[in-house]
A and B are shown apart, each in its own frame.
Chain A
Amino acid sequence: MLMTLLLPTSGSGRVLGLDVVKDAQQVRRKVGYVFRGDRGLYERLSGLDNLRYFCELYGVPPKQQKARIGELLELVGLKGREKERVEGYSRGMRQRLHIARGLLHRPEVLFLDEPSIGIDPVGARELRITVRNLVDEGTTVLLTTHYMFEADELCGRIAVIAGGRIVANGPPEELKSQVSTGNIIEVDVFGLPADAESRIRALPGVRTVVVEEREQAQVLTVHAEPGAEMAPAVLARLEGSRVGKLITREPTLEDAYVELVAAAAAA
């Protein structure tokens, strides 16, 4: 809807102070849209021809087109491959071409729809660097993602949507602080006694216990009450078992997301 591709069923939407229904043409000049995955490109044309075509569509002045395309190819790391047909591009290359296409007309707001889906870790890391550079240069980026670490790393403000409603909205640290659990303990145990899980759950200060089979080990994840220091008590209940790695960590954004969405579903 903010991209002007849908009309609101009720209410209104504004981008940079412009109404997305009444001022759709002006909104389109100021925003860019980057698809996820393979769609949104002309496969039989080269990457360069795709960019030339979208330059025309977005009214990039002819004198600026060549330089703009050149700098974007450099930015997304496709310099030297631009004359190849898109049908021969890898998924990561397509995604980078999408980003170049979305930036041709220097949009003030860029919509990124799950940009790192299906990209190898190196490509995804490069993509995150590109996004961070864009933000540093003053572009507002609206990113949709299911990867919480990506949101944590890139976003200054996060809105969590569950069941079509925004259930939380704020900086990542603020969202994490809303999580009602305290520290989380993860222990690798080899040969977990049958009653160990219930004995740990019965400990004062323990909120939840989850056991997950991972190869020969059982991974015990204990969510503690805020302020409770549970590691010594948990280890005491595991006496007689062979204990491997133990990690105590603070709640992540993913923990916050899970809790927020679960609370919204329960409400």
Chain B
Amino acid sequence: MSVIRLLGISWWLQLKMRSRSAFDGLLSILWPLFFATSVFLMFRQASASGAALLSAAVGASVMGIWSAVSTTASSVLQMERRLGTLELLVAAPRPFALLLVPVTLSMATIGAYSMIVTLLWGRFVFGIEIAVRSPALFVLSTLVTVLAVAIFGFLLAVASVRYRVAWALGSALEAPVWLICGFLVAVDDLPGWVRPISWLLAPTWGMSAIRASAQGRNPLGDIAICLSLAAVYMVVGIVLSRLMINSARAHATLALT
């Protein structure tokens, strides 16, 4: 119970902190709209319509969730370093992983908002008909994807505990994940050697679940795989965070900015 409370309150306070900057708020409105506009224009030029346009709209919206997490998750611990709070998080008696997950979850929550904005943008500016066949499963798939992306972000962030330049990792992965996870291009259309990489990435299955529920297919299999992969990331992240913290304590890098 206390763990759920810790996660809940930490998530809420982190979200509150991240929502305070007007500049950041403006960026989180504009940023996903640029993605969405580029995608919609590309698909329109290719004379796509109906299910293809809906698929593009949904893909563009998940791009926003991923981008919100990938670009910031790796730099979040660098920010904690600058604030001097990283040492306090490490010095707290709670497991470090439990403190980090709400941080990346708050980013994914901000990213989830981009999904709504993108869909509205597609509907009202580009006239794309957003017909979600299974709304309840669509919401469930979206929530699972947000959670999985947050835990993926946690995995990325862990490296920054030890290595100060690891903040670049998230930015480096932003665009490749768009492609590999089938946000815009179907995974089946990727070269054969890339597909196993796609299958190991939870956003691939989250994306697939969201598309399936939008088109009225059963997303539960995709959801199960997405959650299983997220659980594996979590376990790997916990083990990795312990190793990274011990290394940071041995090399005295926690307080370095």
Contact = CB atoms under 8 A, between A and B. Distances in A.
Interface of A: 3-7, 25, 28-29, 33, 35, 38-45, 49, 52-54, 56-59, 62
A6 B252 contact: yes
Given A33-B91, A42-B85, A43-B83, A53 B10 contact: yes
Given A5-B90, A42-B85, A57 B99 contact: yes
Contacts of B249: 4-7
Interface residues of B, number: 28
Nearest to A45: B17
Interface of B: 2, 5-6, 9-10, 13, 16-17, 20-21, 83-85, 87-94, 99, 246, 249-250, 252, 254-255
Contact of B6 (A6, A25, A43, A56): A56
Contacts of A41: 83-85
A45 B83 CA distance: 12
B93 A28 contact: yes
A40 B16 contact: no
Contact of A3 (B17, B91, B246): B91
Given A33-B87, A57-B10, 10 more contacts: A4-B249, A7-B249, A7-B250, A28-B92, A41-B84, A42-B83, A45-B17, A56-B5, A59-B94, A62-B5
A43 B21 CA distance: 11
A57 B17 contact: no
Nearest to A87: B20
Most chain A beta carbons < 10 A, residue from B9, B84, B91, B99: B91
Most chain A beta carbons < 10 A, residue from B13, B83, B92: B92
A49 B9 CA distance: 10
A3 B249 CA distance: 11
Nearest to B249: A7
A42 B89 CA distance: 12
B21 A44 contact: yes
Given A28-B92, A58-B93, A5 B87 contact: yes
6 closest A-B pairs by CB = A39-B84, A57-B92, A40-B84, A28-B93, A44-B20, A29-B93
Contact of A52 (B13, B90, B246): B13
A32 to B, nearest CB: 9
Nearest to A38: B84
12 contacts: A3-B91, A6-B249, A29-B93, A38-B84, A39-B83, A40-B83, A40-B88, A41-B85, A44-B21, A56-B9, A57-B89, A57-B94
A53 B9 contact: yes
